[in-house]
Structure 1
Amino acid sequence: MAMELTENALKVLEKRYFRKDENGVLIEDWDKMLTRVASNIASGDEEKTRRFYQLMDAGYFLPNSPTLMNAGGDLQQLSACFVLPIEDSMESIFETVKNAALIHKSGGGTGFSFSHLREANARVRSTNGVSSGPLSFLKVFNAATDAVKQGGTRRGANMAILNVDHPQILDFITCKENPAELTNFNISVGITEDFMQAVTNDDEYNLISPHTGAIYKKLKARDVFALIVKMAHKNGEPGIVFLDRLNNANPTPTLGKIESTNPCGEQPLLPYEACNLGSINLALLIKDGDVDWDKLKEVVRESIDFLDAVIDVSKFPLHQIETISQANRKIGLGVMGWADLLFQLKIPYASEEAVALAAKLMEFIDFYAKERSSELAQEKGAFPNFQESIYATGCLKREKINQPWDSLKEKIKKEGIRNATLTTIAPTGTISMIADTSSGIEPQFSLAYVKNVMDGEKLIYVNKYLQKALEEKGIYNNKLLDEILTRGSLAGIEGIPDDLKKVFQTAHDISPEWHIRMQAAFQKYTDNAVSKTINFPNSATVEDIQSAYELAYHLGCKGVTVYRDGSRESQVLYLGTQTTSPEKTDKKVAPRTRPEITKGITQRLETGCGHMYVTINTDAQGACEVFIQMGKVGGCASAQLEAIARLVSLALRSQIKIESITRQLKGIRCQSPMWNKGKMITSCGDAVGQALEQFVTLYTKGQIQAGELSVENENLGSHQSVGNGFALCPDCGNTIEHTEGCLKCPACGWSKC
């Protein structure tokens, strides 16, 4: 049965996936897109085309975005993940800058290790000068990314990793303290087992100059670890990657060391390797109150056939990438819809039952993925580097829960396997929006969100499984939806049965421990790694973050990304002093200083009292002041308008959200309402609220500027903030979410890693 596309899914498809002619007119729909993709991946084989079409059309599986966008076109670049090497020479550095630009142009994301670059001020013999150091060149890469649009629509995403023993590690840890810096990069520290042991023992460890191999200096491991934790608490970066674990799971260790990952950290790769990904929609695989294991097995096998075939028809942007990608044939089958599956099975995300099911389910997927890949090896041959791999020596490490791993290992050892890696838990971003399901293995970020439509109308969208549950209880109504929207979850809402509150958990209802335990459960049976954000409340302490990092290490995770609510947007969501610990709760809020020069816009609105002119000015941080003038009115009315303007200005400079100000003003009624350009203005206060709302729209679309910083319609590497308000999508103006290590708009599908 074909998947029913939602309105949001169609919008995303029309904007980002369906083909257009030279005039921008759509020439594709869902059927034509799937036919194009299926036929291309199947190389014209009619039976395979039918199978691949049905697999996607039913919503059971979708490949990564480059495959949907580029299959059957001139570009034919179908992979999402790349890692490029950077060696310690000017030639290597700028060759990699060029190669990264080519990959970004084709729609891929890139990862780099800067660990081979000598430290700043180290001697350069060829010029008798000194080195600029890795951070200087990291800025070069960031600037180059700004100049290249990914697929003509967005900026590329990057991962930068620096090993913890690099002489400039302290500078690297703090390099994104200012959120306006390095906006095209995620950064992670490459952690070793020796370093973690030094942290445990409170020992010093050596910083090693990558150029000479000599000891540069010694640092206290706990001090370095504490700085990593402090910065992660402050704004979510850096993340950490456990390098030894990446290499312990490296299927081809004789070919080199894994030193970096793709932008979201779920795909460790050797230099020049690429990987194409795809995800199974678990939310559709339920039968009689349990996972439909037979159907899941069928979908896994079909998905492996699809992803393996992608390699054969891909055009790679570089010869080196083509060579190693075809020699190792890595693919990454993952999942989406995990949270929605748990909703349907009535299993709380934060529970032993959910963690146990996660391990059982991922073992099942991993087992049958490898079984099918082994069958493909018999049909088409093992991946060319098989004899150099852990499979040929029988060293595949898997603990049995339900599947007969010993017999499969022996089969693979004798007969080969088609793909060096098979499983990856990736962010699903827009493909989960197309499938109308939850992202990856993340809990739902929110159970409801607002979508702005024409004439200022707002529609509330609620999770379909929650809506069904509320309807079955007979308590579904608009008032309840408003409260769910305001809170973001069911916690604290009176009248909702406890059994629903227990099951319908959101990211912020779940403690960090359960986030990490869920990540570890999926990681246990995933060849590559798991993309997951460990969400913390704003009140979380530095000690909380440290405990989470330590737990992730002890439970076998390959990396960790944390996010404390409101931290990364401390200058975006709130733009000013924000309480981060209990002892600061009595701190007074003071307005920021008004600069000497501001600039903004003036709007004219028709009110029942006459023409009103509302001027909204901005400084470098956003909206900062409002002036109101109305015709020749004087006396008390003029004084009241000045009072409104002064209080709104004070609020804007005191970290109050524009949304909150607008909500207070809009809808105030007087005896003289007036129509203005198709909208009813019910009072002077309502007019000011509408002017602020229009300002938000214009600001988001880039038609006005904040201070001297132009806010363009296209993403320049960071999402837009509106004055002291909320983080907004640069495409549609709706609020955005932080999930899977990415920023994502639930309304239109915009995303940024």
Structure 2
Amino acid sequence: MKKGKINLTENARVVLEKRYLIKDENGKVIETPEELMERVARAVAKAESKYPGADPDKWAEKFYDIMAELKFLPNSPTLMNAGRELGQLSACFVLPVEDSMEGIFDSIKYAALIHKSGGGTGFSFSRLRPKGATVKSTGGVASGPISFMKVFNAATEAVKQGGTRRGANMGILRVDHPDILDFIRCKEDDKEITNFNISVAITDKFMEALKNDETYDLVDPHTKKVAGKLKAREVFDLIVDMAWKNGEPGIIFIDRINKYNPTPEVGEIESTNPCGEQPLLPFESCNLGSINLVKFVKKSGEKIEIDYEDLKDTVHKAVRFLDDVIDVNVYPLKEIEEMTLSNRKIGLGVMGFADMLIALGIPYNSDEALKIAEEIMSFIDKESKNASCELAKERGVFPNWEKSIYKEKGIKLRNATTTTIAPTGTISIIAGVSSGIEPVFALAFERHVLDNQRLVEIHPMLEQVLKERGLYSEELMEKILERGTLQGIEEVPEDIKRVFVTAHDISPEWHVKMQAAFQKYTDNAVSKTVNFPQNATREDVKKVYLLAYELGCKGVTIYRDRSREEQVLNKGAKIEKKVKEETTESQEEANMDDKIKPRPRPNVTYGSTEKVKIGCGNLYITVNSDENGICEVFTNLGRAGGCPSQSEATSRLISLALRAGIDVKAIVEQLKGIRCHSTLRQMATNKDIKVLSCPDAIGRALERSMGKTIVVNGNSDVSEADIKRYVDINNEELEKANKKKPNPGKNNSNGALCPECGHELEHEGGCVVCRSCGYSKCS
């Protein structure tokens, strides 16, 4: 197999090395991106040997080409695990939760096995009897769905997924369940049930009651009897209120989902995968992949258009690829294998849609963009069905075809579904394009490279346009970086502003319209986040929910900027300035004259600098004193990587506290023992690391400056036993430590940043993603 060098961005290579490429026992990368693509292509093409006349080597070449050209990429588990011992290639699973102690804990066990294999799980808790209901077998009372969700959450927290992917769940409860009000409020504290996204399953009866301002029935799932009534408007307002506060719950329209269930005789769909794009039957899984739309925008002279012939060819190859994945997959449970092979669902979607619109010169928030969305997705849906028909002729229809809607229609397909719009997260980073069907998040990013160098990266198409028009300058780049948008920048012409719009430039209604346009031609569902500005009202959220139902969406997820304690969207430095001004005003109004004030820093200080080995490289710690004692700390990372802003922020706060008279011993006590995921992982193979984290290293440096150093194993009081204990620490403790000590990242950000690299996180497709290092909360 010829393996020319794949054209990847530097960021894509970083993400591949960190998350996908094979490493040896010492953590050294021993695989190239080209070898990864070959490994995956060969492993998937082995399925071809099952079918007479097929040539595995030929198809391995074809599969390699569409991946290496970045025209198509499968979901992350396939890239990570194909051709390796684990062999689990699916991203999406749904498990049943039966109304019995045995059924509940079987589901927890099954979920643990799936999370360990690299998958995410969805559950409906709607079968569980409500809190306080009688349990005849024991004479006790039921604790209700919410209590068991917390058990599932704790189990997820404790499971490590093969070292590459973190457990993620979807929890769903029907709107007519008696415990629905508790469910809607269950994530009011965003530190609760942290490993779940939650959605309310809305019924058509509820929407009718809402329309008529009526009550609706609550039904006990165990007895099937009416257990009460609620005012639909009041329940809907509570859903809106909670979503406005922190983005959850989302909603799914469960009757609409089942209306389009391709195998209604097999069972009823009751849940989706963690990001909501894949409704599945209990014990069903789905394999996803995405077409990179940017690759099909061709320029012929002055004309720019979509190459539909090339797109058709790629769709057919991608459908065959995903069908082969079903055959070579190593399933975590026998029940999942049987259900998946019976329905053979695949989900072909897209990424780079926003970038494609930019290349075509079409604003995302325009009727023309909606038209392009429908044209593209209807074409992909039609050709994916044609490809599935061709496979059915070669290999036979999916086994449950007789129980499907396609029998009556006389359409013979290999796959019960063929299309899904998923959040593409890390695979869109590998492809170097915008995620899924989301708008561009930001037009400029700031990265820190080498020791103290700062690099501003701008969207490549914007950079090209600005240079062609003679508008490019470093000053303009700084403005774009600060704002995160072109809006309000006078130097940028209006025609450029119209095309280069970001998620927050687009009104929520346009987000919903775009989701609906893609849903019209998608078998499964569409994962999309409707972004709201921070000043959006509850009424704004309500309008979007109603519009999503009206336009035919199968569900909707919203996020209001800065509505969570762990911020996931950040428009730029101006917000921080506004918050700072508001805070200053309130402090002045409160007349806080008695606050502690640090003494001024003297012009001359004296001290020493030491080099300490940490998980990210070398940390240089300078501790200085004046006539009153230790007065300041400086830190600097000696090479690229790590979290320099975290150390700088820690040092500044320490220096402020020292000059305000806080006892050094108290500061040391707070810092020592703080653990860092990266440093702990490196301890096993690097005996030069004698500290637990950057803050731990700073605390020990301060302690040594006080003359109280206890030296063990060279230069620290961390013993070999300590190192072994922390290397062997279980995953649950590591996750908790990581959550408690997030990396603050960029200084000009006002919200939560990636816990692994410090760059700002994006909220897209119902998930949280870092486009710098590939971290994803949902995987």
1:181 counterpart = 2:192: yes
Q: SS of the residue aligned with 2:321?
A: helix
Is 1:279–2:275 an aligned residue pair?
no
Distance 1:711 1:138, change over 3 A: closer
Match of 1:632 among 608, 627, 649: 627
Counterpart in 1 of 2:532?
Answer: 536
Q: Deviations over 1:532-558 (max 9, x none)?
A: 000000000000000000000000000
* SS state at 1:466 partner: helix
Amino acid at match of 2:549: Y
Deviations 1:621-668 (A, max 9, x none): xxxxxxx9841179xxx9xx99x9xxxxxxxxxxxxx99x97xx99xx
Aligned-partner residue type, residue 538 of structure 1: Q
Question: What is the aligned counterpart of 1:525 among 521, 529, 533?
Answer: 521
- 8 A contact 1:430–1:749 mirrored in 2: yes
Q: Distance in 2 between matches of 1:296 and 1:14?
A: 29
Partner secondary structure for residue 606 of structure 2: strand
Per-residue CA distance 1:720-747 (angstroms, 9 max, x = gap): 3649943121111122121221111121
Amino acid of the residue matched to residue 209 of structure 1? Answer: D
State the match for 1:675 in structure 2.
none
Per the alignment, do residues 165 and 717 of structure 1 end up closer, same or farther by CA in structure 2, a change over 3 Å counting? farther
By how many angstroms is 1:324 displaced? 0.8
C-alpha contact 1:444 1:505 (8 A) present in aligned 2: yes
1:76 Cα deviation after fit:
1.0
CA-to-aligned-CA distance 1:35-85 (integer Å, 9 cap, x gap): 111011111711001000001000000000000111111111110000000
Q: Distance in 2 between matches of 1:745 and 1:147?
A: 23
Would the aligned equivalents of 2:291 and 2:351 in 1 still touch at CA under 8 Å? Answer: yes
For 1:417 and 1:254, the matched residues in 2 are separated by: 17
SS of the equivalent of 2:348 reads strand
Are residue 91 (structure 1) and residue 102 (structure 2) matched? yes
Distance in 2 (alpha carbons) for counterparts of 1:303 and 1:392 = 25
Q: Is the Cα contact below 8 Å between 2:219 and 2:227 reproduced in 1?
A: yes
Partner residue of 2:478?
482
Q: Deviations over 1:279-316 (max 9, x none)?
A: 00001111231111111111111110100110011111
| Equivalent position amino acid for 1:160 in 2 | G
Distance 1:188 1:587 in 2: 39
CA distance in 2, matches of 1:573, 1:505: 15
Where does residue 654 of structure 1 map in the other structure? none
Q: Give the partner amino acid of 2:240.
A: V
**Secondary structure of the corresponding residue to residue 514 of structure 1:** helix
**SS of residue paired to 1:385:** helix
Post-superposition CA distance 1:656-696 (Å, at most 9, x none): xx99x97xx99xxxxxxxxxxxxxxxxx9xxxxxx9xxx9x
Q: Does 1:26 align with 2:21?
A: no
Match of 1:341 among 312, 337, 356: 356
- Is residue 764 of structure 2 the alignment partner of residue 739 of structure 1? yes
- AA of the residue aligned to 1:463: H
Seen in structure 2, the aligned counterparts of structure 1 residues 140 and 613 have a Cα distance that, compared at 3 Å, is farther
Give, in whole Å, the separation in 1 of the partners of 2:438 and 2:364: 9
Quote the Cα distance in structure 2 between the aligned partners of 1:482 and 1:208: 57
Of 499, 502, 505 in structure 2, the residue corresponding to residue 506 of structure 1 is 502
Pair 586,733 (structure 1): closer, same or farther in 2 beyond 3 Å? closer
- Report Cα offsets for 1:304-339 as digits up to 9, x if no partner: 010011001111110110001000000000000001
SS class of match (1:727): coil
**Corresponding position: 1:119 with 2:130:** yes
Q: Are residue 258 (structure 1) and residue 258 (structure 2) matched? A: no
- The structural deviation recorded for 1:152 is 1.8
- What is residue 742 of structure 2 aligned with on the other side? 720
Give the secondary-structure state (helix, strand or coil) at the position aligned to 1:112: strand
The alpha-carbon deviation at position 211 of structure 1 amounts to 1.1
The equivalences for 1:65-214 within 5 A come to: 65-214=76-225
**What's the counterpart of residue 330 of structure 1?**
345
For residues 329 and 590 of structure 1, what CA distance do their matches in structure 2 show? 62
* CA drift at 1:3: 4.2
Compute the displacement of 1:700 (Å).
9.2
| AA matched with 1:176 | K
Partner of 1:365: 380
1:1-80 equivalences under 5 Å are 3-43=6-46, 45-80=56-91
The one-letter amino acid of 1:375's match is E
- Matched residues in 2 for 1:572 and 1:352: separation? 29
Give the Cα–Cα distance (whole angstroms) in 2 for the partners of residues 154 and 261 of structure 1: 19
Q: Does 1:447 align with 2:469?
A: no
Q: What amino acid sits opposite 1:467 in the alignment? A: E
Which residue identity does 1:387 align to in structure 2? E
CA distance in 2, matches of 1:444, 1:155: 26
**TM-score, normalized by length of structure 2?**
0.79
- Tell me what 1:399 maps to: none
Cross-structure match for 1:546: 542
Q: Following TM superposition, by how much is the alpha carbon of 1:129 offset from its aligned partner in structure 2, in angstroms?
A: 0.6
How far did residue 23 of structure 1 move? 2.3
Q: Contact 2:743–2:758 at 8 Å: present in 1 too? A: no
- 2:395 and 2:602 map into 1 onto residues whose CA distance is 75
2:83 partner letter = G
**Distance (whole Å) between structure 1 residues aligned to residue 391 and residue 462 of structure 2:** 41
Residue type of the partner of 1:378?
Answer: K
- Alpha carbons of structure 1 residues 713 and 324: separation in structure 2 relative to 1, 3 Å: closer
Structure 1 residue corresponding to 2:335, chosen from 320, 324, 331: 320
Evaluate the alpha carbon distance shift between residue 437 and residue 2 of structure 1 in structure 2; reply closer, same or farther with a 3 A threshold. Answer: farther
| Corresponding letter in the other structure for 1:229 | V
Structure 2 segments unaligned to the other structure (5+ residues): 50-55, 591-600, 610-622, 634-644, 654-658, 660-666, 679-692, 697-731
Percent identity of paired positions between Structure 1 and Structure 2: 56
CA–CA separation in structure 1 for the residues paired with 2:741 and 2:506: 26
Q: Which amino acid aligns with 1:204?
A: T
Corresponding position: 1:461 with 2:451: no
Given that 1:61 and 1:278 are in contact with CA atoms closer than 8 Å, whether structure 2 keeps it comes out as yes
Distance in 2 between residues matched to 1:119 and 1:291, nearest whole Å: 53
What residue identity is the alignment partner of 1:552? A
In the aligned structure 2, how far is the partner of 1:386 from the partner of 1:573? 44
- Structure 1 residues 445, 305: closer, same or farther in 2, change over 3 A? same
CA deviation after TM superposition for structure 1 residue 25, in Å: 2.2
Deviation, structure 1 residue 151: 2.3
Distance 1:727 1:744, change over 3 A: same
Q: What is the aligned counterpart of 1:611 among 590, 602, 606?
A: 606
Shift of 1:131: 0.8
Q: Distance in 1 between matches of 2:288 and 2:569?
A: 33
| 1:623-662 aligned within 5 A | 630-632=625-627
Quote how far apart the aligned CAs of 1:714 are.
8.2
Partner residue of 2:392?
A: 377
Displacement of 1:717 in angstroms is: 6.7
CA contact (8 A) 2:568 2:763 kept: no
Distance 1:718 1:632 in 2: 36
RMSD, aligned α-carbons: 3.3
What's the CA shift for 1:503?
0.2
Q: Secondary structure at the match of 1:720?
A: coil
TM-score with structure 1 setting the length? 0.82
The answer (yes or no) to whether the contact 1:246–1:558 under 8 Å persists in 2 is: yes
Distance of aligned partners of 1:299 and 1:718 in 2 relative to their CA distance in 1, 3 Å threshold: farther
Residue in 1 that maps onto 2:424? 428
One-letter code aligned to 2:66? L
Q: Is the 8 A contact 1:183 1:718 kept in 2?
A: no
Deviation at 1:613, TM superposition (A): 11
C-alpha separation in 1, matches of 2:223 and 2:161: 38
Amino acid in the other structure paired with 2:626: G
Query: d(CA) in 1 for partners of 2:625 and 2:113?
Result: 55
Distance 1:590-1:211 versus aligned 2 partners, 3 A rule: farther
Counterparts of 1:295 and 1:738, CA distance in 2:
32
